[in-house]
Amino acid sequence: MIYRPNRTHFSYVVKQIIKFIKNVWVFGVIALTTGIKSPLFLGFIAILVLSIIFIIIEWRKTIFYIKDNILVLEKGVISTSKQEVPFDKINTIDSSQSLIDRIFKVYTLKVDTGSVIAKKSEFLVIVKKERLDELKNSIIDKDNKTSPNLSIDKDKEAEVSEEVRFNKDTEEHLVNRRVITSKEIFKYALTKSKIFWAIGGFFALTNGLDDILRYFDLKIFNSVVNYINLNSIQSKSVFIIILAFIILSIFVYMIIVVASVIFEMIRLNNFTVETYKDKISISYGLFTKKQYSFKLNKVYGIRFKQTLLQQFMNIGVLELITVGYGDEKDEKAILYPIIDEKSKEDFLKTVLPDMIFEGEIVNPPKSSFIAFILKGIIIPVIILVPIDIFLKIVPNNVKLSVILIVLVLSFIASLLNYKNTSLGTSKNVLIASSGGLSKVTTIIREEAVQSITKKQGIFQNRVKVCSYKIDLYSNKLGDVINVKYINQSLYNKIQENLKF
């Protein structure tokens, strides 16, 4: 029946109304305070009613169907538009189920072609499970080259045959199925980067305490000034202050870990990866269920990301580099939220054997070690010295403690960056690695490399190294890999292997 015009599910209307109310509720509350019969409130009600009518008309005017292996979406009230997405241009099929979707027992289907200009899904509809499977089968089934006739009998016959083909593919072509355990999700939550959690938690805590203290006609700053004895701090040694900072950091980290574990357990609940003959299917989520599929020939590379803890534990997050997914808010093409090196290599051998790197990996020469360290330390020094000079209110021993902590962390990050940096090229694959406290290793196919630029400063010229800038073909503008202080002779070899 998808070869005839279909409407997206009525839950679309409910979602749009909720979205509209969410955007204007403040104005509604202000209008209500003026009185139910006031012109302002009556005007708000009129706008609300007209908006609901417009949403319903928009829903009625939106239809989708399949014609000659092309997804067609027609919509518009005042001005109409017609979107056509050929099957062979589709990179990603993503289905999700929000709380509202689960109430109505429907799914939101998104189809992406990887258009950087679009910056969002080219095709988005809300459908029942049967229609979802029918759409997925029609897109994935490459043998389905012609649309059936529009007779009822032919439609039913097509539905049955497509369902049989889908079940057959599922049974025969399933290569591997892996469910991420709760223990693995816990390990991921424990080791993932939490800098943004810490910053957000700090401001949330500060604002919350400020609201509480404001009730008692107090302020956090005044409370801190009254209860902290600056003379007592000035009398403490630098060692004691650093020790106190470490203990406080551990305490804050433990609180953030608890929140992170709860959040990730809900978000990544029942994270399942299924690999088939020609695609990868991923599903997860407790309250908001997500499911998305990638065609293997549309996967241009992988990224293996590791925080500092993950580097020591030899584990990391494995992401796919593809076009069409990850171009919207909060979208990440995560393949495995946590995986070790051996499992990563096994996955490549089984699913993406053409991405196994067999060439020579080049590391920065020892002569560039000083450059890594100096570059990592000079910038913090430039920032900290003026602060130390002009910030008179802070005791000197506190400022010295902060400077020492920052410099030690900068040195460790620079040392790790030197150790982690590498670049290699083989016949059809390029591998690049860099990063200190956060390491990223990228394995990329030849066709995904848009350009390679080498830059060489005065110091680099003396030691015969250069910095490489690799532009990638992906859904993000400016997706670039930067690798510094690698032997300049590798540039010609990369050009030869990648046929530039």
- 335-371: pLDDT as tens digits: 899 999 888 888 888 888 888 888 889 999 988 898 8
What does the block give as tokens for 28? 């509604």
- 71 falls within a domain: yes
Q: Whole-angstrom Cα distance, residue 19 to residue 46? A: 17
State residue 57's pLDDT score: 93
- 261 falls within a domain: yes
Q: Which of 139, 172, 205 is the last residue of a domain?
A: 172
| Same-domain check for residues 224 and 168 | no
| Same-domain check for residues 23 and 129 | yes
Question: Residue by residue, what is the 3-state secondary structure of 94-115?
Answer: EEEECHHHHHHCEEEEEEECCC
Q: Range of 220's domain?
A: 184-267
State residue 163's pLDDT score: 38
- 332 falls within a domain: no
- Of the ranges 171-185, 305-319, 347-361, which is most confident? 305-319
Whole-structure pTM value: 0.71
* β-pair partners for 465: 487
Average pLDDT of the chain is 79
- 115 falls within a domain: yes
Among candidates 88, 81, 89, 76, which has minimal Cα distance to 115? 89
* 271 or 211, greater pLDDT: 271
**pLDDT tops 60 at residue 153:** no
| Same-domain check for residues 152 and 198 | no
- 50 falls within a domain: yes
- Of the ranges 58-67, 169-178, 449-458, which is most confident? 58-67
pLDDT band at 218 (very low <50, low <70, confident <90, very high): very low
| Same-domain check for residues 98 and 56 | yes
- Of the ranges 140-154, 199-213, 214-228, 347-361, which is most confident? 347-361
Number of domains in the chain: 2
DSSP state of 272: E
Q: What percent of the chain has pLDDT over 90?
A: 18
| Same-domain check for residues 116 and 263 | no
Q: Which of 236, 267, 298 is the last residue of a domain?
A: 267
Give the tens place of pLDDT for each residue, 1-30: 677 888 899 999 999 999 999 888 888 888
The residue to which tokens 């083909």 are assigned? 165
| Same-domain check for residues 193 and 258 | yes
- 196 falls within a domain: yes
pLDDT band at 79 (very low <50, low <70, confident <90, very high): confident
State residue 49's pLDDT score: 93
| Same-domain check for residues 97 and 33 | yes
Q: Which of 144, 172, 200 is the last residue of a domain?
A: 172
Question: Residue by residue, what is the 3-state secondary structure of 236-298?
Answer: CCHHHHHHHHHHHHHHHHHHHHHHHHHHHHHHCCCCEEEECCCEEEEEECCCCEEEEEEEHHH
Q: Whole-angstrom Cα distance, residue 61 to residue 75? A: 6
What does the block give as tokens for 93? 């099929």
| Same-domain check for residues 213 and 70 | no
Distance of CA 279 to the CA centre of its chain: 20
| Same-domain check for residues 28 and 113 | yes
**pLDDT tops 60 at residue 145:** no
State residue 206's pLDDT score: 46
- 288 falls within a domain: no
| Same-domain check for residues 75 and 48 | yes
- 358 falls within a domain: no
**pLDDT tops 80 at residue 247:** yes
| Same-domain check for residues 227 and 83 | no
The residue to which tokens 């890999």 are assigned? 481
| Same-domain check for residues 240 and 163 | no
